[in-house]
Amino acid sequence: MTLTSLFVFACALFVAAGSPGPSVAALVARVISKGARDVLPFLSAMWLGEAIWLTCAVAGLAAIAETFHYAFVAIKWLGVCYLLYLAWKMWFASPDSDGEALPEAQSPTRLFLAGMTVTLGNPKIMMFYMALLPSIIDVRGVTIVGWAELVATMLFVLIFIDFSWTLLAAKARRFLRSRRAIRAANRASAGTMAGAALAIAMR
């Protein structure tokens, strides 16, 4: 891969991944409601999911993805249901904790699966890699080394973007001190998570 190709790919991914969407909404809602300390499994799954879509695009698996359309639809709806479940839990979460305390960490495995279903079932991400990426670079000429360079570039961009969103959400969470503020944040997060689920469901 030439530096120019990698730069163009990085710029396009920065715009696509940095713009608020279902994945970003789920991440921000998670951090505001539960804190950033245990969010790494969720982020890791999101990055792995994007690497899977990138690999499918480079390997020319668009036809296979179309063949297994119903499998991806099932993943999509699993993600929607899980996001709605999280939204329900956030909405009814107890505000009886002080502002410095973090709620009990959720299972890393459950967080990883949540991140994976959100990413693999997100049509915005799928369309970027399967439809837009081939118009940015010539995926037919990508070698194994070129694939590795694309993955490394993808990870660099996504880590920067997702950690930025995580930091902003964590800072917003620090302002929550009263029961009323905590309840409002929980319900705002629930609304954001439900909105992310609806955004995925409607695409």
Q: Is the entire prediction scored with pTM above 0.85?
A: no
Long-range contacts of 146-149 (CB under 8 A, 24+ apart): 146/1, 146/58, 147/54, 147/55, 147/58, 149/1, 149/6
Digit-coded pLDDT (tens) for 168-184:
888 777 665 555 655 66
Mean pLDDT of 41-70: 78
CB 82 within 8 A of CB 90: no
CB 73 within 8 A of CB 122: no
Give 102's pLDDT tier (boundaries 50, 70, 90): very low
Query: Nearest Cα to 28, choosing from 151, 195, 183?
Result: 195
Which of 33-37, 44-48, 110-114, 179-183 has maximum average pLDDT?
44-48
